[in-house]
Chains A and B, each alone.
Chain A
Amino acid sequence: MMSVILLFVVLAPLTGFLINGLFGKWTKPYAGVIASLALATSFILGLFPIMSVLNGHIVEYTYYTWLPFKEVSVPFGLRVDALSAVMLFVVTFVSTMIHIYSIGYMHGDKGYSRFFAYLNLFVTSMLLLVLGNSYLLMFVGWEGVGLCSYLLIGFWYEKDTASDAGEKAFVVNRIGDAGFIIGVLFIIYHFGSATYSNIFPRAHQVLNTTSATIIGLALFLGAMGKSAQFPLYIWLTDAMEGPTPVSSLIHAATMVTAGVYMVARSNVIYSMAPIAQEVVASIGAFTAFYAATMALTHKDIKRILAYSTLSQLGYMFIGVGVGAYWTGMFHLMTHAFFKGLLFLGAGAVMHSMRGLLSIDLMGGLKKYMPQTAALMVIASLAISGIPPFAGFFSKDAILAHALEFGHPYIWIVGEVTAFLTAFYMFRFVFSVFYGEEKVPGLYHELHTHEAPSVMTIPMWVLGIMSIIGGLVGLHIGGVIPFKHLVTQIAPSTPIADKAEYPESLLIGVSVTMGLLGIFSAWIIYIKKLITAEKIAKTFKPIYTLLANTYYVDEFVYCCIVKPFWWISTNLLWKIVDVEIIDKGGVDGTGWVAGRIGYLLRFLQTGFINNYAYWISFGIIVLSGWYIVKII
């Protein structure tokens, strides 16, 4: 029975995809409802295996053999354990909310049913990614979500920026995917299997530090692509070209966290490879800080949130990188709530602002959109790590573990980033919802109003989760429930010696950082004691660098894409292929044959005396040679 339920967790959204994908012309008015129902079914069915996992079981079923190779056989099997249960809950729950929200948001779009078909397909892939019981099945989901991300970023394909962004996302992800595949190849090479239950129990016998490090780094390359870590993050901000629910679901709450899940899933391998762990944590810390700085200066509300997502993903990688896997997973979950909400709020603002995105055009929106404003404040408090909101517990857990597990520098970077996070989030909130209208009469002209309830209700649900979602990280009766759950599968494995620090001190520092950030934003954007323009002017070089996001896109385009294209066109195609191989080698051979024939033509003159001349010449030469030989 459970096996069928588990299968239908995946099949329900697939059915939704097929209905809306094949019969979209006819289902158009109900496409959103069908898709949401499919997702709700998946969520409800998913609760059964989750309950079973909470009771201490592991639910795993194999359905058929997908890849029956002689060297390795890969079954199609689904597995729910503590790790995938968390993901299953987050994915189906947040997806359901965002599907419902999209009914309102996408209302009237000409691709309405196509949108929901893609969205359902995305959830199917995401569920395969988290529930698959082998690395290869995870890869199916991994590429599948990438594909859906490509389709959804380029959803409004007539916009060339959207089409380009979709392609960029897919291609950059493929760099990471190559790493993932290499990791899988090494795993199959060592274990003769790609199934988790054949790998992890044997890992300590089969792998040594070197092989574990190679696998860990290769897999992490995949995670860097999917979870947009430096330097493969460049696709994520462009991905904001997609419809906002997509940004919320795929590029904030679920897909981009797949890398974190994958590292947590592979905890056995990483725990054997301290270097790989160190790389994960360092890149995470660097990305957290680096992305936060770029969020400081952006004016586009969606891009601010995109950089913020990069930064928060960095935190998650700190968590899993230092060996405290449960903290990464914890932040993944709370982040899905509050960042999903932030994007939905941004979508609500866009919806009522007719697609305008710049914070320079907004201000004082609270009056027009009180619910959205309240929710955005809640979500911002959560991301800033203010207790008792959800983000506080998870971020604090990550930073505390970074310090306790012997990474003081990462801890410092994390705390500084916490300050930046609170600052840029409240810069966003204050300049959009508070203060004066920056363009008088704009709201009147646009008929700015609160979002319809089909959009606000899912937002409230996520808002409530952003408030209470962190409570599972509280000490309850001596154990932290979330930690207790996840560490069954992913026990913490510190790299360095464990050091103890007073908990209240760590909390104090974190909260102070958050409050300081909010306070600074308040001074600058509400009180205007120092104006933002003045700061920008004082630190002009830094401001320019940040406002242009370190010129990374320009660098990639000038130094990688363009030369590559030029070499392919002018060197490989026009010179090597056309001139050297085809004209030189192939036609050249023909030309030589033709020339030889042309020269031989002169021998065939048609005059008997010429032939007689050649014959006698031949006789003389041959007999001469014969005579020489005799002598």
Chain B
Amino acid sequence: MNQLHFPILSLITFLPLAGAVLIAFINEKNENFIRYFTFGILVIDFIISLPLFFAFDPSTYHMQFVERVPWIKSLGFQYYVGVDGISLFLVLLTTFLTPIAQLSTWKAVNKKVKLFNIVILFMQTGMLGVFISLDMFLFYVFWEVQLIPMYLMIGIWGGPNRVFATMKFFLYTFAGSVLMMVAIMALYFLNHHYTGVYTSDMVKLMSTPLPAHIQLWLFLAFFVAFAIKVPMWPFHTWLPWAHVEAPTAGSVLLAGILLKMGTYGFLRFNLPMFPDMTHAFAVLVIVLAIIGIFYGAFVAMVQPDIKKLVAYSSVSHLGYSMLGMFALTQVGMEGSILQMLNHGISTGALFLAVGIVYERRHTRLISEYGGLASLVPVFATFFMIFTLSSIAVPGTNGFVGEFMILLGAFLSHPVYGIIVAFGGLFSAVYMLTMYKRVVFLKVTNPKNLDLEDMSKREWIYMVPLVLFVFWIGLYPNTFLSKMRVSVEHLLKQTNRTVQVSMTSKQIQPVKTVVVKKG
């Protein structure tokens, strides 16, 4: 279904790529022009992505704005893109966050400006491609494509340890991707074995799950690939490295969008395609998620480096997202998706805030700061708002997401809810301790004395984030109403189980639909 009768998704996805190609022809001495030009393209990209929001039909779970063109006919691959209530906001988050991230680099990035902007545009195409692909080979192509710009971004514009960090990031996530590639191929052939058609159409694959014993290995392979990306405990150790070394824009996009590809992958592959294994492994995943929530918070608490602290807090926050997802309840799942957006907004904003002071002082150590409230009050206020959003104070977006996840987990099993209810305690500890040491107290370091408060450019990219913090916090219905039907459908798919008579060699899948309570 494409209500606009216009290939809007392709336009959104490939416009940045076209921009990148154009920039290649601009002389790299025109740094300012390149910055404006890139920013312009990203803003236009955001504007043309808005019709997705307004024209989106919340009453159906079918894919919308669909484009479908055969790609490799003999193998059944297609260029098949579309969005539903699950991917809609991830697409919008990407088009929203990238211009902000780019705007934050105008002063911070001075080396190889041209290449940097090409990389950002290239990454935008890769990220959007992941969220709109409905053909699993296409998905895989985009998944790999966006690894390269991030690899370059950390490797070229990163901190002193950038090479080690970027290698770790690349190899670790790539190890997961390779596993996913194998799983995708296996899925392709096994699906043929059981249904007689070669297809890489994800929507079709979601609707005809394979027998349970086949699901096991596929589930595990996808699980590892996505768990690394999320990152779930204990696959998270590349994240602090990557965040600490990445430039601000890299951190923002990494935390804001790249990590969401992991959680999104679970929603697209593991849950609907391997429903039996999802139920079988739910407890394990939930346990890992809960460990991540607390472990991330405990380790974040003692970090001397602000970026590392925020990186570990991401482990904690995405633990919530995974918990809500595998609670397999409507409210938990919606909360999980909302948490992805929230994390993109508040953690992205926290990285931007760190970037603002880093740009001026070139250090991220908490102990180097102190007393910023009296020196840069505007910055302190913005920083406070995002801190509060991060610790889920009611009225901000964080609360709505976390409460939904808590409720979802509780309805799945009260024990989960009761344990995780105490998570908010520790997020308050690490965020407020950091905030206190950076912003409150006396100015002890004379180097901070001539800090300048936020510039106009910085205002421009912080204010929209603040608006979303309160919009989602006060009126989440704008977002939730569009997810509802798609999430309902996903749950229906996840809650069916496939029974296979294992005795006969001629395996005939017998489908029985068991809709579980929840």
Residues of A at under 8 Å CB distance from B?
Answer: 64-72, 136, 139-140, 143-144, 147, 150, 154, 157-158, 160, 163-164, 166-167, 170-171, 174-175, 177-179, 181-182, 185-186, 188-189, 565, 567-569, 572-573, 577, 581-582, 585-586, 590
Contacts and interface: CB of A to CB of B under 8 A. Distances in A.
Given A158-B374, A167-B433, A581-B234, A565 B301 contact: yes
B237 A143 contact: no
B172 A174 contact: no
Contact of A585 (B234, B303, B481): B234
Contacts of B440: 154, 157-158, 163
Nearest to A142: B394
A182 B419 CA distance: 9
B442 A158 contact: yes
Interface of B (DSSP majority class): helix
A177 B404 CA distance: 16
B425 A175 contact: yes
Contacts of A177: 424-425
B78 to A, nearest CB: 34
B400 A67 contact: yes
Given A67-B400, A147-B388, 15 more contacts: A65-B477, A67-B476, A140-B395, A143-B399, A157-B439, A157-B440, A163-B436, A182-B417, A186-B414, A188-B407, A189-B410, A189-B414, A572-B299, A586-B168, A586-B172
B54 interface: no
A174 B428 contact: yes
Nearest to A180: B421
Given A585-B234, A590-B171, A72 B407 contact: yes
B474 interface: yes
A70 B331 contact: yes
A563 to B, nearest CB: 12
B468 interface: no
A585 B393 CA distance: 36
A71 B433 CA distance: 36
B62 to A, nearest CB: 20
B407 A171 contact: no
Interface in B394-438: 394-395, 399-400, 403-404, 406-407, 410-411, 414, 417-418, 421-422, 424-425, 428-429, 432-433, 436
A577 B172 CA distance: 16
Interface residues of B, number: 56
Contacts of B414: 185-186, 189
A258 to B, nearest CB: 14
Given A158-B371, A158-B374, A174-B425, A71 B432 contact: no
A178 B407 contact: no
Contacts of A160: 441-442
Nearest to B443: A158
Nearest to B410: A185
Contacts of B484: 70
Contacts of B301: 565, 568
A305 to B, nearest CB: 26
A349 B68 CA distance: 78
A71 B407 CA distance: 9
A170 B428 contact: yes
Contacts of B411: 71, 189
Contacts of A147: 388, 393
21 contacts: A64-B475, A65-B477, A67-B476, A68-B477, A70-B330, A136-B403, A144-B393, A157-B440, A163-B436, A164-B436, A171-B428, A171-B429, A175-B422, A177-B425, A178-B425, A181-B403, A182-B417, A185-B418, A568-B298, A577-B299, A581-B237
A158 B407 contact: no
A476 to B, nearest CB: 41
B407 A66 contact: no
Identify whether the interface residues of A are mostly helix, strand, loop, or mixed: helix
Nearest to A587: B168
A310 to B, nearest CB: 22
Chain A to chain B: the 6 pairs with minimum beta-carbon distance, closest first: A157-B440, A582-B237, A140-B394, A163-B440, A569-B302, A174-B425
Interface string B425-463: 100110011001001111000000000000000000000
A179 B418 CA distance: 8
A586 B400 CA distance: 35
A565 B301 CA distance: 8
A139 B407 contact: no
Nearest to A65: B477
Residue with the highest number of chain B CB atoms closer than 10 Å, among A139, A143, A167, A577: A577
B375 to A, nearest CB: 11
B299 A568 contact: yes
B237 A586 contact: yes
B98 interface: no
A567 B426 CA distance: 14
Contacts of B351: none
Contact of B394 (A64, A72, A144, A569): A144
Q: Counting chain A CB atoms within 10 Å of each CB, which of B234, B484, B488 scores highest?
A: B234
A254 B420 CA distance: 30
B441 A69 contact: no
A185 B421 contact: yes
B80 interface: no
B433 A157 contact: no
A143 B428 CA distance: 12
A582 B242 CA distance: 13
Contact of B334 (A69, A140, A150, A568): A69
Contacts of A143: 393-394, 399
A144 B474 CA distance: 14
A590 B168 CA distance: 10
A65 B330 CA distance: 18
B299 A573 contact: yes
Given A158-B371, A163-B436, A182-B417, A71 B331 contact: yes
B292 to A, nearest CB: 12
Interface string B297-318: 0110111000000000000000
A280 B422 CA distance: 22
A87 B477 CA distance: 31
Contacts of B236: 581
B373 interface: yes
B278 interface: no
Nearest to B488: A70
A569 B312 CA distance: 13
A179 B417 CA distance: 11
A154 B433 CA distance: 13
Contacts of B298: 567-568, 572-573
Nearest to A590: B171
Given A572-B298, A573-B299, A66 B441 contact: no
Contacts of B329: 71
Nearest to B237: A582
B222 interface: no
Nearest to B435: A167
B406 A181 contact: yes
B480 interface: yes
A171 B425 contact: yes
Nearest to B422: A178
A185 B412 CA distance: 12
Contacts of A189: 410-411, 414
B264 interface: no
A163 B425 CA distance: 18
Contacts of B168: 586
B223 interface: no
A565 B374 CA distance: 29
Nearest to A174: B425
B56 interface: no
Interface in B118-163: none
B302 A573 contact: yes
Interface in B476-518: 476-477, 480-481, 484, 488
Contacts of B475: 64, 66
B188 interface: no
Contact of A182 (B172, B334, B374, B421): B421
Contact of B421 (A178, A581, A585): A178
Nearest to B233: A581
